[in-house]
Amino acid sequence: MNQHFKPNSIAGRDVKAHLHSQTNPRRFEEQGPLIVTRGEGIRVFDDAGKPYIDAMAGLWCASLGFNNARLAAAATKQYGELGFYHTFFNRTHEPATDLAETLLELTGMKGGKAYFATSGSEANETMVKLAWVYHTVRGKPTKRKVIARDRAFHGSTIAAASMCGLTFMHREFGLPIAGFLHTLCPDPYRGTLAGESEDQFIGRLVGELEKLILREGPDTIAAFIAEPINAGGGIIVPPRAYFARLQAVLAKYDILCLGDEIVCGFGRTGNWFGKETVGMKPDMMSLAKGLSSSYFPISAVVLRSEIYEAVNEFNKAGGSFGHGFTNSGHPVGVAVALETIAIYNEMNVVEHVRRMGARLRGHFEAMADRFPIIGDVRGAGLMLGIELVADRESRTPFDPALQAGLTFDQIAYDNGLIGRCMGDTLGFSPPLIVTEKDVDEIAERCEKSLKELHSRLRK
């Protein structure tokens, strides 16, 4: 252990005892943790009392900020009434029933079913398993493979990580496992070829997908999975006609479309669900994060009735759906999710996100006029990205050794702003409760940090 931490300090003890997710071990041992002691609205405070605006809502998730009293009260009330019960073997409780109905209504999946799990990864893996049941029951048991996209993020468990299209999720573990394939990422800024129109770009993306399906054999492909807007891969908004044309190919080969709404769901993109923002029509959707503002680890899958019917049919001889998590439909999780959704409704989340998102985007676009290192401003609602470039005209990226994005994050952090770089794309996904004043403050701190970055990069 690095000697510069006092052995009994939280930092010293944490460095000694705690293995952190998505953290470089050596850098962590050197730098130690950011110790977060409390939250207040969109701000968190470190152990020295310094406030930060968390413009990422933690991990794209704390949509109602960091100390919402109503969510705390909903959890406390539910703990007092029924602190745990499971949903195996025909068991339920009213909050779980209420949330299942609410989700079907909100997602437009009426007549279908809602299934509960505890993490986004579990929800995504549940969708894969349901796709397998669906095809098996319909006499197509060889349909097993799943196609995801380059730069996708779908979680950390083995199949979910295999669906990721990011090398950092694969390299230590020898992933992806067999049967998990990847196709092109619909990134208009980086993916469009010189002279290619949007229509031609979409045609090429969809053509590549079809080639992959034909190469593997359509009778081996169960499902395609995508986020409406790719979050962790760099806030990538596909061209408007992309999903409609892509889904025509999926339909042609009887391939299910799985929508990962774990980040995009619950207002984030300026609609209740990202599918509305991009014109996607999924057969199943995975939900987490904003579902409970991450005040409780709860996730869900909503599925079309045909998929439920397959589960029913498979078990007609008396077997049980062989799937489930101890905490599926945990009473406190569903109570917190119901309260979260009630608050979204009261604050008119969609309209609010559209207004705040347009204001923040306006600030970023104005900054692009002042900073030539801004190559692209993109996103939807309160899910925005700024891509930094060495040369705007030619879209030439910075030399990766400069670590422009990471340097921005460090400067911003010193300026009391938590963002998240994905390579040289700066992500902004603040709590959805941001006010006009908050948005202006995020922009001010961002601009100040960009100025410092700009002068450092020129040295």
Ligand X SMILES: Cc1ncc(COP(=O)(O)O)c(C=O)c1O
Given a contact cutoff of 8 angstroms between Cβ atoms, the answer to whether 146 and 176 are in contact is no
Query: Where in 331-370 is the site for ligand X (CB under 6 A)?
Result: none
* Nearer of residues 117 and 389 to ligand X, judged by Cβ: 117
Q: Which of 176, 186, 232, 430 binds ligand X (CB under 6 A)?
A: 232
Give the Cα separation of 429 and 123 in Å (integer): 22
Binding flag, residue 59, ligand X (CB under 6 A): yes
Q: For ligand X, how many residues bind (rule: CB under 6 A)? A: 16
Q: Is 154 in the site for ligand X (CB under 6 A)?
A: yes
Distance CA 52, CA 58 (A): 11
Q: Which CB atom, from 76 or from 326, has the smaller least distance to ligand X?
A: 326
Could you tell me which stretch among 113-121, 201-209, 377-385, 402-410 binds ligand X (CB under 6 A)? 113-121
Asked if 247 contacts 226 with a C-beta cutoff of 8 angstroms, the reply is no
Query: Dihedral sign, CA of 88, 89, 93, 96?
Result: positive
Q: How many CA atoms lie within 13 A of 404 on its CB side?
A: 24
Nearer to ligand X, 55 or 453 (CB): 55
* Binding flag, residue 121, ligand X (CB under 6 A): yes
Of 255, 263, 302, 404, the residue at the interface with ligand X (CB under 6 A) is: 263
Scanning residues 15 to 54, which ones bind ligand X (CB under 6 A)?
A: none
- Shortest Cβ contact with ligand X: which residue? 120
Choices 85-93, 105-113, 256-264, 380-388 (CB under 6 A): range interacting with ligand X: 256-264
Segment interacting with ligand X (CB under 6 A) among 205-213, 217-225, 259-267, 346-354: 259-267
Residue nearer to ligand X on the CB measure, 227 or 339: 227
How far apart are the C-alpha atoms of 66 and 53, rounded to whole Å? 11
Q: Is residue 107 exposed (0-12), middle (13-18) or buried (19+ Cβ within 10 Å)?
A: buried
Contact stretch for ligand X (CB under 6 A) within 40-48, 153-161, 326-334, 438-446: 153-161
C-alpha atoms less than 13 angstroms from C-alpha of 242 in its C-beta half-sphere: 25
Q: Indicate which single residue of 288, 310, 412, 434 sits in contact with ligand X (rule: CB under 6 A).
A: 288
Q: What string marks each residue from 175 to 214 as x (binds ligand X by CB under 6 A) or -? A: ----------------------------------------
Please report, as a single letter, which amino acid is at residue 1: M
Minimal distance, residue 199 CB to ligand X, in Å: 28
Structural tokens at position 82: 């029924």
Task: Give 131-146 as a DSSP string.
Answer: HHHHHHHTT-TT--EE
Task: Identify the residue among 262, 310, 433, 439 touching ligand X (CB under 6 A).
Answer: 262
Binds ligand X (CB under 6 A): choice among 68, 87, 107, 119: 119
Q: How far apart are CA 329 and CA 93, in angstroms?
A: 9
Residue owning tokens 């705690």: 18
CA separation, residue 9 to residues 2, 16, 24, 27 (Å): 13, 11, 21, 18
* Site stretch for ligand X (CB under 6 A), options 8-16, 138-146, 234-242, 255-263: 255-263
Buried b / exposed e along 192-206 (16+ C-beta atoms within 10 A): beeeeeeeebbeebb
> Residue 419, Cβ neighbours under 10 Å: how many?
23
Instruction: Report the nearest approach of ligand X to the CB of residue 429 (Å).
Output: 10
> In the set 112, 120, 176, 233, which binds ligand X (CB under 6 A)?
120
Question: Which residues of this chain interact with ligand X, rule CB under 6 A?
Answer: 59, 119-121, 124, 153-156, 227, 231-232, 260, 262-263, 288
